[in-house]
């Protein structure tokens, strides 16, 4: 069965600090997709990144970066020089490649990130 674990329930840092959100996943599939979503107070989930299981190259987008390691089944998310606007709940999610599980996202419990000025 698929499972996503975000062990950090809440993180609070001071603005400009770097912060890493952890995500560990379980799946028996060899092909799968990993996602990160941001949920601001408005409630709408905002897509941040998608990774397939064959692409372990790390990605950087501005202040955001993602570290995907199949060997440890982890897909961690780092925010560099955090800003108050980064405050939100962040979700890591997993999707099977195809078949009955297609388009079914399995989410972690989320990490509530608070950036204090």
Partner 1 sequence: KAGVTQTPRYLIKTRGQQVTLSCSPISGHRSVSWYQQTPGQGLQFLFEYFSETQRNKGNFPGRFSGRQFSNSRSEMNVSTLELGDSALYLCASSLLSEPRLAGNEQFFGPGTRLTVL
Binding footprint of partner 1 on the chain (CB under 8 A): 32-33, 35, 37, 42-47, 50, 52, 91, 93, 95-110
To the nearest whole angstrom, how small is the minimum distance from the Cβ of residue 16 to partner 1?
A: 30
| DSSP helix/strand/coil, 101 | helix
Cα 26 to Cα 106: distance, rounded to the nearest angstrom: 10
Q: How many residues does the chain have?
A: 117
The tokens describing 4, both together, are 């996503």
Q: What DSSP letter does each residue of 9-36 carry, written as one string?
A: SEEEEETT--EEE--EEE-S-SSEEEEE
To the nearest whole angstrom, how small is the minimum distance from the Cβ of residue 113 to partner 1?
A: 16
Between residues 46 and 81, which has the closer beta carbon with respect to partner 1?
A: 46
Between residues 63 and 104, which has the closer beta carbon with respect to partner 1?
A: 104
To the nearest whole angstrom, how small is the minimum distance from the Cβ of residue 71 to partner 1?
A: 21
In the block, which residue shows the tokens 């204090």?
Answer: 116
Between residues 68 and 82, which has the closer beta carbon with respect to partner 1?
A: 68
């Amino acid at each position: 069965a698929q499972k996503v674990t975000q062990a950090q329930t809440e993180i609070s840092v001071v603005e400009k600090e770097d912060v890493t959100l952890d995500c560990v996943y379980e799946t028996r599939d060899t092909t799968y997709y990993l996602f990160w979503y941001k949920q601001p107070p408005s409630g709408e989930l905002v897509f941040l990144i998608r990774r397939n299981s064959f692409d372990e190259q790390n990605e950087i987008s501005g202040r955001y970066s993602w570290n995907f390691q199949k060997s440890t089944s982890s897909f961690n998310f780092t925010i560099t020089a955090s800003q108050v606007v980064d405050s939100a709940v962040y979700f890591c999610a997993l999707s099977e490649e195809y078949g009955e599980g297609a388009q079914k996202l399995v989410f972690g419990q989320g990490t509530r990130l608070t950036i204090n000025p």
